[in-house]
Amino acid sequence: MLRQRFIIDTTALTDTQVRESIGATTLCDGMRGVLELIADARLQLGISCYVPFPSVYDELHDFAKNNGCDSDVLAKIDTWLVKKTPDRYNVMISSRMFHEYVSHMRERINKGMNIAEEAILEAARECLFLTSEAKHKNDIEEQIEREVIGKIVGKFRNKYRNALRYGILDSAPDIDVLLLAKELDAAVVASDFGIQKWAEQMGVRYVPANTFPMMLKEYLKHTSNLEYRGEGELFDKL
């Protein structure tokens, strides 16, 4: 007997690699394709795909609406993804995990501050250099703003995002995905290193979003040898 449950993160439907894995060219086609696979897996194999409500559910709706997806994509989200709010009061998580998480966040914040200091110093050096080369004061300010500060701010923003966001849980939906997976003993489907890292810490199964469609196709390919008998139960045909 086989019982499979999956918790769907926003990236499971919106990630670029997911679209490429099923041959879709647009975000809407990608979402539609994955949801149709989920529908087939639900009807033929009894596989259940959950979405944390309202956090991840709202994100998926916003993605679909903001990218001009047809109403059928929204209908598929509502039909084939089981909406459930995580039990945030009774799901038990080790206090050691939160201690490590706080320490990890502190380290990342300090790293971000160091990058900011380096950017400020670099800007100051460039400004002094341009001052000595410019002929007029107005030229100095315009030149600095256009050629130096703009580039440095752009680089700073990219480095700061990477320092603070890569590999950490930085949103309520991320935490909801993990809590719901822990509660239901389900696998997380996502394309997010932070979720992957903390899924490992919590002992939660993790499925990369770009391999999930292929996994469903592999399940469905073998349905001819199995008989479905209710919620999540499969039996070999005699």
Residues 134 and 189 in one domain: no
Q: Do 188 and 224 have their domain in common?
A: yes
Question: Is 47 in contact with 219 (CB distance < 8 Å)?
Answer: yes
Could you say which of 119, 144, 165 is where a domain stops? Answer: 165
Residue where a domain terminates, one of 113, 140, 165: 165
Print the domain residue range for 142: 95-165
Tell me, yes or no, whether 11 and 88 share the same domain: yes
pLDDT in tens, the chain (238 residues): 356 899 999 999 999 999 999 999 999 999 999 999 999 999 999 999 999 999 999 999 999 999 999 999 999 999 999 999 999 888 888 877 777 776 777 787 778 888 887 887 677 667 766 665 655 555 555 656 666 666 777 788 778 777 776 666 667 788 899 999 999 999 999 998 889 988 998 899 999 999 999 999 999 988 766 555 444 444 444 3
Regarding whether 176 and 69 lie in a shared domain, the answer is yes
Number of separate domains in the chain: 2
Q: Are residues 178 and 208 in the same domain?
A: yes
Cis omega (within 30 of 0) for bond into 54: yes
Tokens of 120: 């400020």
Q: Are strands 48-52 and 82-84 parallel, antiparallel or unpaired?
A: parallel
Query: What tokens appear for 134 in the block?
Result: 């410019």
Q: Are residues 145 and 194 in the same domain?
A: no
Contact between 40 and 216 (Cβ < 8 Å): yes
Q: Are 220 and 41 in contact (CB under 8 A)?
A: yes
User: Is residue 20 located within the same domain as residue 48?
Assistant: yes
